[in-house]
Each structure stands twice: as structure tokens, then as C-alpha cells.
Structure 1
Amino acid sequence: MAHRQHRRHLRRARVIAVLALCGTALAPTLPSSAGHGAPPPRTVSGWLPYWDQEAAYQNALRHADQLHTVSPFWYEAKSAGRVAGHTGAGSRRVIDGLHKAGIKVVPTVMERMRPGALAAVVTDKARRAQHVDALLRIVRSRSYDGIDLDYESIAPTGDAAYKKVGAGYATLVTDLCARLHALRKQCVITVSPKTRISGRVWDYRRLGAAADRLRIMAYDQHWASGSPGPLASPAWYEEILRRATAEVPAAKLEMGLPGYGWDWQVGSRDRARHVTWKEAEALRRRVGAPYRIDPVSKTPHFTYEEGGKSRTVWYQDARGTAAHLPVLRKYGVRHSVLWALGFEDPAVWRALATG
């Protein structure tokens, strides 16, 4: 659900945000890293949104010294045998440019099938095989380095079927990864966090054994249709990583980090508005709200008035990211993945390099 809901809110102009950033003071930033030397290790991946492809692509090239993998959000599974491309999917200019910069290209396949359709695919042997073949056709269609599966409708599977569906999905991933490895391609799997109240459908142990990387979407602790609050916090990361590292080697984990936020109307059940870091900062300065860090979550937030209604914005920036990285270090997780390229505070790259 995390990635699907973001797309609905991001197909809009960002001109106001850009203008507001010009000629105004920025929020407090991180100190520069001391000294010069070898470039930082390539421990960062990033999703590349197709709806803002050129800007995200140029952003990736600017940070090629840190990026080891880019996953263009290019494909959507429609059925067992059909995987369709989004606008710009398979751009050879983007693929070749990223490869020239030394970055692997592992496109993401997402899905938004009708309820129960994906479960029917993963729990049927013949349909699973058909779907693996469809995914391999995508991998062979370009000079890709592998594939990333982001199948989020698996996550809310109900009590009666979750064990069967979870096992079926793990089998699909195991079969797919084996076929990819035979082609010397990478197998990347994106999952939601497994906590005491969420994520039980994911068989982390089997998925982690099969895949080269398991990406955890560690954001939306508070999300668009819920109550206002931080997207992530150190305590939440503790819970996520304590469980994840007990089932998956830390070297295989990529912790998903947010570069965005949500803007809620206080007391309303309406969905929050999506804001990138740039949009959130531009809004904060436009309404004259002070820059504040929540002492518990270590993330920025502010409130403002609009049309006589109170609104509150929680988002993530480089300072908040830097405050969360010690939890990753504690559990030996060196790899991270950004949702998404072009959303983030530019200073986050320095935080990732030094943190």
C-alpha cells in the first residue's frame, strides 16, 4: 500500500515548492563531513518514479558515487501471464546512462490486482510458473541486472488465508530467484515491516534465503488514512530490525528510508496530502512555521492554518535520517533504499555517507 498511495498524490506540479525554496533560509542542516578521501561505499539504492523520471534520473547520476542500484518503478503485474509497462518503461537512455555511471538497474514490478487475484496466482502451481515466465520476459527484454518485486496486496491477507498465501508467495519468490540466479541476475524482494501488529504474511526467513536483497519499506508508521504522526522513529526501527535480523542476514537487508511526508487536517478522516521534502519545507517557510524536531521520533513537523482549519505536517529530512541511522548500525544493517529519488532532502546523501 505504501508505494501505491504515494503515486496518487505525486502527479502534480512542484513549481510552488521550487519558487519558495529560492531566496529563503533553509532549515538547519547537517555539518559537512571532514576531510576528503575515497568516495563513500555504494550502500544506497533508490526507487526511480516513472511520473518524474527525468528529474529522478538526473538526481541518480549526481549521486552515482553512493548508489549501487536504481530500481525504476516501471512495471505492473496485471495477471499471471501479463506484466505491463508504465510510461517510459524500458528507456534505453536511462538504462545505459545508469550503467555508464556504474549503477545496477533492477526495475520494480508492482501490482494492484483486484482483491484475491494475486493470492490466486501465488497459491496455484501452474499460475505461479506462468507468472515467473512473465517476469523473466521482462528481465530479458533489456540489459537489466535483475528484478524487484513490490507486491503489496499480499500484506493485508485475512486471517483465514494468510498462511497459505504467505507460503505461496515465498514459493513463487524461491522459484523466481533460482531462475534469475541461473541467468546471473539479482533477485530483490520488497516487503512491508514485520512488527507485533503487522506483516505476519511475509515469510522473511524463506524470502531472505532466496533473495539477494530484502527491502523493508520502513516508513508510514503513520500514514495517509491514519492519525497524524511521524513516518518512522528509532523505537519503531528497533522493533523492525530486531525481528528482521533474527530471520534474515543483515547483509541482505535494505532499510527503506522516506524522503517525503504527510499533511493531515487535524480531526478529519480525510486522507492526508502527500508532500516531498522540498514541498514540506517550502510550505513550512511560506506559512512561517518554525523548524521543530519531535524529541521522540527525531523527525521534523509543524502545524499551520488553512481556510480556518488546523493542519499538521510530519516529514523526513537529513537531520531526522541521521538520528535514525544509529539503529541500523546497531543491527549491522549497512544498506538502505530511498523512496524515492527526487523526493529527498539533498543533505541526506551526506548523512548516509557519514552515518
Structure 2
Amino acid sequence: MIYVVEQGDSLYSISQRFGVTEAQLIRDNQLYGLSHLVVGQALLILTGEKTVSVGDLFSSGYTYTFVNPGVLSEALPHMDELMVFSYGFTIDGELIPPAVDDLPVIRQAWRAGAEPVLVLTPFDASGAFNNYLVRQVVENKQVQDTLIANLLQTVEERGYMGVDVDFEFILPEDRVYYAEFVGNLREVMNRNGYKVSVALAPKVSADQRGLLYEGIDYRLLGENSDQVLLMTYEWGYTYGPPMAVAPINKVRQVLDYAVQEIPAEKILMGVPNYGYDWPLPFEQGVTEARTIGNVEAVLLAAEYYAEIRFDETAKSPYFFYMENGRDHEVWFEDVRSYEAKFSLANSYGFRGVGFWNFQRPFLAGWLLLSDMRGR
């Protein structure tokens, strides 16, 4: 169950009330270093009684190859799949491996029972998405064939179980070409026993304007892949105004459109494993938010004796604090927001959920998922 801390609560009083040990509360909620409980803080309490079930919801998520192995080890036992970010490619279709060797992460995934998947991105030398690279591979058959052959060889040699295509800022005129590339990749991979997934920007209509959306055709990409991941996060983002990263009312708009175009059993709903800390007042083009982990957010609230609030529309926690005379606003995720997201994905009959990403600790979130799945 989930308990929200009230004024006067202590670890001892909560442990006595629910019949669990203080050590379990500390371990499951990663309260190490917390000087006191925070009013409004949501605690996961595993009592052996399940209150909400999401059946056998599939779980996936992304990691960089330079992830802390200890942090990744907390998430992996609760995951079915691990997407390893990422391989790039040249204009000739040659693969560019991650700067940090991916084999340790691949092996760690297999040991934990999670299938590793190679993530393909069109990154240029600066590490940014490059739509010229996209154009080269989707319009030039020779380059495309070379890239697909290299992907198959790498998947076989490194021990991956498939490829996740994560292309962004696709030009509108490449919309059909891009979907055809995904289909060609899938044909080769499926023939050799591997799968292909594709990450999709969060659209709410077929004709949605904007460089993130116009080159993404939900229907065609759904038809040409084995699985899609909806990137339902980043409403609140580094350069935007303070708000929830994945407000559930906004997420639902994307889901409502997606199920019109893609079979629900192919869809993973994206879930963020992070939040943002905005200095106030917010000034467009000037203010820059700091990325913050969910466990880190609670520690910050405790440090400044802030009360955590919960927005019932967005289904997301937030708080305010002051540092060096300047106000801050923080939005993050907790077990309440995760419970709402897992339940939402289940209500649509989706294949599962996919997390961005496993770089930051959030053991309570992974324990909650396994508990709701009955595992």
C-alpha cells in the first residue's frame, strides 16, 4: 500500500501502525541520509496484501552504457527488457558503438533475466539528432541495406534480442520512407529470430504540427514494428515552464489517439524516472531547470523542510523551497504517480510500460510495479 506522511509521523510510528520494520521502510523507500520524514511524502509499504493489480504488464526501459551497475541492479530484477542506449551510424551505414562498452550492461541484463535490446539513434558528432542522417538511411537503399546488415551482425555477436529505433526530428517528406525502413529492418530481424521496436514522439492527432511530429506516422510505424514505445513525458522539461514531466491528463490525450492507429497489445506507455527543479520566477528562454532524481527530490524537500503536495489532475507530486533567497519549484515522480500510470496503461490493455531511464535510483517504483503485477 501507499502511505502519505502526516505531521508528527515517524518511522517508528508508521512501522508499528502497519506491522513492518523500520529497516524495511528505509530499504524499500531508500530513506538513507534522510534526517526526517517529509510531510506529504509517499511511502511504499509492502505488507503482503495487494490492493491494485495490473496483471502481467510488460516492463521495459532505457539505460546508458555508463550507468552505475548498482543502480541498474535495483531495477533489472523487475524488468522484462533493457534497451541499451545507443548505437549511432555514419552516412555510409556503418555502426558507431557507444563510447562506453555495452557488453557489461548486456551481461548484467541477461543475469537478471531481462532481454537486452540495441537502441539505434541518428546522432551526429555533437550527440544531437541529425535528420540528414535519417534521410540518408531511409532514402538510399544501399546505405539502408548496409546498416541493416551491420545491425544484424552486431545483434548476433553482442547478445542482443532485437533493435529499438529511436529517430527524432524526421522531416515530413521522409514520413513514409522512415516507416518503410522500420518495416525492412523488421523483416530481416524477424527472419533471424529478433524483434524490432520503435520509439514514438507523443502525438495527439495525425496532422499535429511540429518537427517532432510530422515525420512520425503512428499507423504505418505500428504496422511495420513488433512494438512501439510512446514517449509520454517531457511536458515539463529543461527550458519549459514548471509543470509535471508526465501529467496524466496530457498523457491520456496521447493514448486516446494512439489506440486509434496502433493495436493496444503493441504499445508500451513511456514513464519518466526523473523530475525537474526550476528556479523562479520562470522566464522563457532564460530559465533552465535542473534534472533531479525521485529519491533526490525527497532529500531536497527534507533539507529545506518543504511540504510535498500532490496535483490530482496531473497525478504528480511537487513542492516549493527557497535557496539563497531564490524560490524553486520541483516536480518529480513518486509511488502515487507511478501507481496511476501503471493502472492507466493497464486500463488501455497495453502491452506494458517503458521507463526513461534507469540512471537514477527509485527502488520503491520498481517494487511497486512487481507488487502490482503479483511477482
TM-score class, shorter: 0.7 to 0.9
Query: 1:290 and 2:307 equivalent?
Result: yes
Partner of 2:145: 129
- The CA RMSD over aligned residues, in Å, is 2.5
Contact 2:67–2:358 under 8 Å retained in 1: no
Query: 1:173 and 2:187 equivalent?
Result: no
The CA deviation at 1:288 is 1.4
Match of 2:249 among 235, 250, 256: 235
Partner of 1:212: 226
Match of 1:321 among 298, 313, 338: 338
The CA deviation at 1:229 is 0.6
The CA deviation at 1:70 is 0.9
Partner of 2:65: 50
Contact 2:116–2:161 under 8 Å retained in 1: yes
Q: Secondary structure at the match of 2:66?
A: helix
Query: Which residue identity does 1:148 align to in structure 2?
Result: D
**TM-score for both structures, normalised by structure 1:** 0.83
Q: Distance in 1 between matches of 2:190 and 2:351?
A: 23
The CA deviation at 1:31 is 4.2
Please identify the structure whose Cα radius of gyration is greater.
Answer: 2
The CA deviation at 1:106 is 0.7
Q: Secondary structure at the match of 2:148?
A: helix
Query: 1:300 and 2:317 equivalent?
Result: yes
Q: Distance in 1 between matches of 2:194 and 2:236?
A: 35
Q: Secondary structure at the match of 1:29?
A: strand
Contact 1:33–1:350 under 8 Å retained in 2: no
Partner of 1:110: 121
The CA deviation at 1:324 is 2.9
Contact 1:75–1:86 under 8 Å retained in 2: yes
Partner of 2:127: none
The CA deviation at 1:335 is 0.3
The CA deviation at 1:206 is 1.6
Contact 1:259–1:317 under 8 Å retained in 2: no
For structure 1, list consecutive stretches of 5 or more residues without a partner in the other structure.
Answer: 1-17
**TM-score for both structures, normalised by structure 2:** 0.79
Partner of 1:77: 89
For structure 2, list consecutive stretches of 5 or more residues without a partner in the other structure.
Answer: 1-29, 125-129
Query: Which residue identity does 1:176 align to in structure 2?
Result: L
Q: Distance in 2 between matches of 1:248 and 1:150?
A: 17
Match of 2:167 among 118, 142, 151: 151
Match of 2:355 among 334, 338, 346: 338
- Aligned pairs, number: 325
Deviations 1:184-210 (Å, cap 9, x if unpaired)? 001111121112446242111121112
The CA deviation at 1:19 is 9.4
Query: Which residue identity does 1:296 align to in structure 2?
Result: T
Match of 1:244 among 258, 269, 283: 258
Partner of 2:109: 98
The CA deviation at 1:94 is 3.5
Contact 2:68–2:359 under 8 Å retained in 1: no
The CA deviation at 1:308 is 2.7
Identity %: 26
